[in-house]
Structure 1
Amino acid sequence: MPAARVSQRISAIAESATLAVDAKAKALKAAGRPVIGFGAGEPDFPTPGYIVQAAIDAASQPKYHRYSPAGGLPELKQAIADKTLRDSGYKAEASQVLVTNGGKQAVYNTFATLVDPGDEVIVPTPFWTTYPEAIRLAGGVPVEVFAGPEQDYLVTVEQLEAALTERTKILLFVSPSNPTGSVYSPEQVREIGLWAASKGLWVVTDEIYEHLTYDGVPFTSIATAVPELGDKVVILNGVAKTYAMTGWRVGWMIGPADVIKAATNLQSHATSNVSNIPQVAALAAVSGPLTAVDEMKVAFDRRRKAIVAGLNAIDGVECPTPKGAFYVYADVRGLLGKEFETANGTARPQTSAELAALILDEVEVAVVPGEAFGPSGYLRLSYALGDDDLATGVARLQAFLGKAK
């Protein structure tokens, strides 16, 4: 029997659903189709000028044309530690910081460093599509704990306790959440963190949406709120969302010095240093003011209210109001199995994946189905796009979905 051309480990990975939807939408746009893309979590604002200028200046300096330390520029690592203390109240040394090629590499490095084959990681669900794949690549087992819209997509300690086994090593904690936009209250964060500490678990917390909360809802870092976790916590973050720097590819992980040293060793073989020019841009970002994200939040908040109202006006759609990030997670179970008029007759989508494909084909609106993030029956829409596109896209959805029989 001939050997497989691609390893089982890599063959088992699913393509990033969010990037796949975004790529298809962009390809259709390039072909002249008037597609509205709600797929990618990418602010539509340009990177602030002072950050761009820092990169331009760095590009002309020969010292940045050379290799730099695999773990990151020392001045950037210190600035990240300072920014974390400023924004999260969590004190870390520069030696506890690893600068990565975007947040995704921070996720991969973390699980590759902490997880042995068979170790279980509790993953509150709906989850960002990359988490379970990174866990599986490390040989771990993602254990999904689903919280539906009736509990605002927030898991409880009771649910976590039910998922606990002797193989559980890590709790993944994300607030504000991608894909739901849900935010845990300070009390909920503390309760969950104390539970994890009492079980001796590691907590990996993704804080990349820390500055995107609404309605006066605070961001609470579990690392700060629960000092009882000790040195068994890893913080993931990056500049992508706060500073509209998705394409610059600078993220980081903060954790115990031994874990960071091990993850740095991994990165030294995988990619070596993050490109120096984006690192200098990130230094300008994390050392500078938060005015850019404050201005973006005004627009995001306006769009958040508009998209929630627009989706909830459709019979069969229930869309909770998110308190953070820039996503809505609409419950469309009421539309599945219904009949839709199409250009070629009628269709009865049975899953949210089929419904998302139908929406793209019939009204040229790109959304991401719930299968990318957990159970079927939901659609994720990012409202980090222009107001006009948002209004046009929602109107198309209302016109098409509103005719379901």
Structure 2
Amino acid sequence: MKGALEGIRIIDVSRVLAGPFCSMILGDLGAEVIKVEHHESGDETRGWGPPFAEGESAYYLCANRNKESMTLNLKSEQGKEIFRKLVSTGDIVVQNFKAGTLEKMGVGYEQLKEVNPHLIMASITGFGLTGPNKDLPGYDYIIQAMSGLMSITGESDGSPMKVGVAIADVLTGLYTCIGILSALHHRNNTGEGQEIDIALMDCQVASLVNVASNYLFNDISPKRMGNQHPNIVPYQVFHASDGELVVAVGNDEQFKRFTTVLGRPELANHEPFMHNKDRLQNKEELIPIIEALLKSKTKNEWKTQLDIAGIPNGPIQTIAEMFEDPQIQAREMLVEMEHPKVDNLRMTGSPLKLSKTPVTMRKHPPLYGEHTESILAELGYNPEDITKFKQNKII
């Protein structure tokens, strides 16, 4: 079966995570992705490790399957000429240079659409192409700090904490995918390309969802609550006899069933706990009762009983435990790929399960510059040209 985006060519000149993660998703969906890398050093994440496998960094491998790699010196006139020719054959450019960088080099959106009027360019920056911070570099960690995310993450009596993954980059990659697919739909209807201005800061602020909404309603800055929820009780981490689990009771009916599983059904009829607003107000009394009861059994014993009762719950698993989970394996969220250097390369799978146009793992994360010569040949350059490009440090 064909991929949903088969026939779409993406020129990806982004590095690190947000852009490459976006283009990998589009590649999984069937798009052809050409990763254009610096002619001397390549994507920085190639050197981010350990761990490495046969010289390939785990960080680089996580976001670059279903792509081809070519090297190119975009500061040289010949390199710019090659890039323009490549863009003329494509549909989408994904880039995350600082605002104005490509324009100064003569290959910004307004300049490139002269060679490809239908071009869609996704420009990813830390703070956007407008505003007083537009010229500042944007790293995920900085965005987590400035967006307010860190101020609400961590224990109430501890320091602000970042999320355990580069969540601003990941969310920006996802939002960029949405923008690209929307622009493709518009182009299919009108023939018009466009530039997508997308900022890590904007994406992270938008992703504050209910926490931001709570503030906008009452003008009170949310505080860190550790693993508790600002609006729902009980909805947090608890200790079983052998480890930790999360219980997420979302409504009053669930609370009744939960208290029955705990062996204390009368709690649901106790006036201070009958409704969520009451439980929220009286959580300092309720939570210790629940904690004491949950310590009487193992987390798996509780999971069995809570699952039967329809109470959302789950043990806190390590990454190793997660990948051993039968559900993860059944959903093909652990996949193996052939790779020219790494035996049985293991990667996370795609969460996109399309019945008519399924995702495919067609191409291993490319070696540095693995496809430079074949792409140049496709563009019409002969072996003598390619030799000169190498001699002149164009590739």
> Does the pair score TM above 0.5?
no
Q: TM-score range by the shorter chain?
A: under 0.3
Structure-1-length-normalised TM-score: 0.25
Structure-2-length-normalised TM-score: 0.25
* Higher RCO by CA contacts (8 Å cutoff, separation 6 or greater): 1
The structure with the larger Rg is: 2
